[in-house]
Structure 1
Amino acid sequence: MSDTPDPDLLRRLNEAVGNIPKLQREIFMAHRLDNMTYGEIADRTGLTVRQVERHMARAIYKLSKQMDGRKLSWWERWF
């Protein structure tokens, strides 16, 4: 297995992340890239830990669906 990331995969991931709502994107990036805990994110955003959990779950759902090549339904785009 190569250490070089697949450029097509990175492009699709970047596009998928760009398609989720701003707050979900910020929470996802803070948790996955900055290694922040849900509690730290909650303190930073003013949300409860439970709200952060919900935003993460929705972001992961949307990203996994898009990475599988499926489009988000009209109602999935805003929740």
Structure 2
Amino acid sequence: MTDTPDLERLERLEAALLTMPRLRREIFLAVRLDAMRYEDVARITGLSVRAVERQMARAIAHIGYHLRHGAAQPPRRWWYRRRGK
């Protein structure tokens, strides 16, 4: 296995980060790149630790979706389709 990064994967990761809400992106980068603890991020942002955990879960799911599917829009939820949104 080589140590060279997959350019397409990096582009998808960057696109995923750029399409994320600003606060979620900052929380994700603080935890993953700056190795901050959830408690520290919660104190700095004024959120609860649970809210930081939720934001991280949503960020990871968002990135995972973009790595698998690229820039394709996620499918609409069935309850949105039913209400015509």
Q: Same fold, TM exceeding 0.5?
A: yes
Residue of structure 2 in register with 1:5 after alignment: 5
Aligned residues: 75
TM-score w.r.t. the length of structure 2 is 0.80
TM-score w.r.t. structure 1 length? 0.85
Consecutive unaligned residues of structure 1, counting only runs of 5 or more, are: none
Q: Which moved more, 1:34-43 or 1:64-73?
A: 64-73
Identity percentage over the alignment? Answer: 47
Runs of 4+ in 1 over 3 A off after TM superposition: none
Aligned residue runs from structure 1 range 31-70, under 5 A:
31-69=31-69, 70=72
- Alpha-carbon RMSD across the aligned residues, in angstroms, is 1.6
Q: Which amino acid aligns with 1:31?
A: V
Please identify, of 51-60 and 62-71, the stretch whose mean Cα deviation from structure 2 is larger: 62-71
Structure 2 unmatched ranges of 5 or more: 78-85
Relative to its length, the structure with more helix (as a share) is 2
Shift of 1:7: 1.2
Larger Rg: 2
Give the conservation status (yes or no) of the 8 Å contact 1:66–1:72: no
